[in-house]
């Protein structure tokens, strides 16, 4: 893992500018982080890819310039845990109602690109008696929301491309958590612009890179996401494609970056974004690399002193940490309170994931707190287990 800053000639996929630089190289990261493995060998041999995080000084877009879509296996069965959160469901329902109200969506034709189980598109349709068409490659008719038939939504099992929306004359297009997966994001936004009738509106939502950077959340750098957007970058992308009335924001407690805009006869605007925004992204990405290196140094030092080191927390953050830190072999195992994870092995490295009770017999010298939010809780559990160890935070 090298955090460096070098100028190269890779043009920005979002705005074609040549003012790009490489900020962070992560030579080997698992391409799918959410899988549980039953053997350490299989966990360690999981498919991996290279991440080279590049940044565009013109539009603020950050992306993995070593991304290869062929590395991904979209046959894997994914389940978005957020859907099961009442807070998320409430927020999403309010979002649908707000979009219907702000863009006067009543008796209109709506489309969603990457509509998943059709739940959100159906909510939009039901809220304004609209007609909806969704695009979802790999769409499984047995796993659609029960709202889909009530709303009369049609779901098409294909990737939306530049021609998909032609002929539908849609008044509104939504696309949520799709753009970050696309190596050529401009093509999708241009396709949306081309498919909308004059005055039609768009809503695009992605993970918020600003949120991740502010928290040093290196686990948000995942192979499946080749593009990383702040609200400012999203706004630039829509201005550049000729949208007007562009409003970008951080939403859902800042976790998502979202943009709404209107396909009026606006003139495409390719002005650079505020250089201070680009500088903030650059600074925070480099700091991310520094933090990973600091953890690596701490691990190596304790290993050389013959200490027993374990990590607490087996989620996506642990997967990121164990795979990015070169000296992660200094860690004997990972503790997790989730029984479903206990007995499995960390993707990419094969560290065993064990129950907290395991520590009674092991008596580690130091426990790495993977997620500092839980420091107090973990300290209490260690005391209850009779474990006296240094706590290391990152």
Give bridge partners of residue 156 from the DSSP assignment. Answer: 135
Span of 4-12, 113-121, 148-156, 291-299 interacting with Zn ion by CB under 5 A:
4-12
Name every residue whose Cβ is closer than 8 Å to that of residue 64 and which is 6 or more positions away in sequence: 51, 52, 53, 54, 223, 225, 226, 227
Name every residue whose Cβ is closer than 8 Å to that of residue 369 and which is 6 or more positions away in sequence: 312, 313, 375, 378, 391, 392, 393, 394
In the complex, least distance from residue 62 CB atom to Zn ion, rounded to whole angstroms: 9
In the complex, least distance from residue 233 CB atom to Zn ion, rounded to whole angstroms: 8
Q: Is 59 in the site for Zn ion (CB under 5 A)?
A: yes
Q: Is 56 in the site for Zn ion (CB under 5 A)?
A: yes
Asked if 202 contacts 247 with a C-beta cutoff of 8 angstroms, the reply is no
**Residue closer to Zn ion, measured from CB, 179 or 346:** 179
Closest CA to 95 of 119, 64, 66: 119
Asked if 211 contacts 161 with a C-beta cutoff of 8 angstroms, the reply is no
Indicate the pairing of strand 154-156 with strand 256-262.
Answer: unpaired
Span of 60-68, 79-87, 139-147, 340-348 interacting with Zn ion by CB under 5 A:
60-68
Kindly tell me which residue out of 3, 15, 66, 196 binds Zn ion, with binding defined by CB under 5 A: 15
In the complex, least distance from residue 10 CB atom to Zn ion, rounded to whole angstroms: 11
Kindly tell me which residue out of 14, 309, 310, 370 binds Zn ion, with binding defined by CB under 5 A: 14
**Residue closer to Zn ion, measured from CB, 270 or 388:** 270
Kindly tell me which residue out of 3, 12, 160, 221 binds Zn ion, with binding defined by CB under 5 A: 12
Kindly tell me which residue out of 37, 61, 229, 299 binds Zn ion, with binding defined by CB under 5 A: 61
Q: Is 55 in the site for Zn ion (CB under 5 A)?
A: no
In the complex, least distance from residue 61 CB atom to Zn ion, rounded to whole angstroms: 4
Span of 10-18, 297-305, 317-325, 330-338 interacting with Zn ion by CB under 5 A:
10-18
Span of 8-16, 71-79, 220-228, 313-321 interacting with Zn ion by CB under 5 A:
8-16
CA distance 329 to 106: 58
Q: Is 17 in the site for Zn ion (CB under 5 A)?
A: yes
Helix segments in the chain, DSSP class H: 40-44, 86-102, 119-128, 147-151, 185-195, 209-214, 231-240, 275-304, 316-324, 359-362, 375-384
In the complex, least distance from residue 41 CB atom to Zn ion, rounded to whole angstroms: 42
CA distance 267 to 114: 28
CA distance 355 to 358: 6
Span of 16-24, 100-108, 192-200, 380-388 interacting with Zn ion by CB under 5 A:
16-24
Q: Is 278 in the site for Zn ion (CB under 5 A)?
A: no
What is the dihedral angle through the alpha carbons of 29, 32, 36, 37, rounded to the nearest 10 degrees? -60
**Residue closer to Zn ion, measured from CB, 193 or 302:** 193
CA distance 137 to 26: 30
Indicate the pairing of strand 366-369 with strand 309-312.
Answer: parallel
Span of 9-17, 174-182, 214-222, 351-359 interacting with Zn ion by CB under 5 A:
9-17
Q: Is 220 helix (H, G, I), strand (E, B) or coil?
A: helix
CA distance 118 to 166: 21
In the complex, least distance from residue 386 CB atom to Zn ion, rounded to whole angstroms: 55
**Residue closer to Zn ion, measured from CB, 60 or 132:** 60
Span of 12-20, 104-112, 165-173, 299-307 interacting with Zn ion by CB under 5 A:
12-20
- Among positions 170-199, residues that touch Zn ion (CB under 5 A) are none
CA distance 177 to 144: 18
In the complex, least distance from residue 259 CB atom to Zn ion, rounded to whole angstroms: 16
Q: Which residues bind Zn ion (CB under 5 A)?
A: 12, 14-15, 17, 56, 58-59, 61
């Amino acid at each position: 893992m090298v955090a460096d800053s070098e100028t190269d000639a890779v043009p920005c996929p979002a705005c074609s500018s040549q003012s790009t630089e490489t900020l962070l190289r992560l030579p080997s990261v698992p391409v799918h982080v959410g899988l549980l493995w039953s053997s350490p060998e299989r966990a360690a041999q999981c498919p991996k890819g290279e991440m080279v995080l590049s940044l565009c000084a013109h539009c603020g877009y950050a992306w993995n310039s070593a991304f290869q879509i062929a590395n991904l296996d979209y046959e894997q069965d994914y389940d978005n845990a957020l859907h099961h959160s009442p807070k998320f469901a409430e927020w999403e329902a309010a979002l649908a109602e707000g979009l219907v109200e702000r863009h006067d969506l009543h008796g209109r034709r709506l489309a969603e690109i990457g509509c998943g189980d059709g739940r959100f598109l159906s909510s939009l349709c039901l809220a304004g008696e609209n007609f909806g068409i969704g695009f979802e490659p790999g769409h499984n008719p047995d796993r659609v929301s029960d709202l889909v038939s009530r709303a009369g939504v049609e779901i098409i099992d294909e990737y939306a491309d530049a021609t998909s929306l032609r002929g539908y004359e849609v008044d509104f297009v939504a696309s949520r958590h799709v753009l970050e997966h696309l190596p050529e994001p401009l093509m999708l936004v241009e396709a949306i612009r081309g498919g909308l009738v004059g005055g039609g509106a768009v809503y695009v939502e992605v993970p918020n890179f600003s949120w991740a950077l502010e928290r040093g959340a290196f686990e948000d750098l995942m192979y499946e996401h080749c593009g990383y957007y702040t609200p400012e970058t999203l706004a630039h992308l829509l201005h550049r494609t000729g949208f007007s009335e562009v409003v970008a924001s951080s939403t859902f407690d800042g976790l998502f970056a979202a943009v709404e805009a209107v396909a009026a006869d606006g003139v495409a605007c390719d002005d650079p974004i505020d250089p201070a925004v680009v500088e903030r992204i650059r600074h925070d990405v480099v700091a991310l690399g520094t933090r990973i290196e600091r953890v690596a140094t701490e691990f190596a030092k304790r290993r050389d002193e013959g200490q027993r080191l374990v990590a607490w927390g087996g989620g996506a953050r642990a997967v990121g940490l164990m795979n990015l830190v070169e000296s992660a072999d200094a860690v004997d195992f990972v503790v997790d309170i989730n029984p479903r994870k206990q007995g499995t092995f960390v993707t990419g490295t094969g560290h065993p994931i064990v129950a907290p009770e395991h520590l009674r017999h092991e008596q580690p010298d130091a426990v790495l707190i993977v997620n500092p939010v839980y420091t107090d809780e973990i300290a209490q559990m260690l005391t209850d287990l009779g474990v006296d160890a240094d706590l290391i935070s990152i």
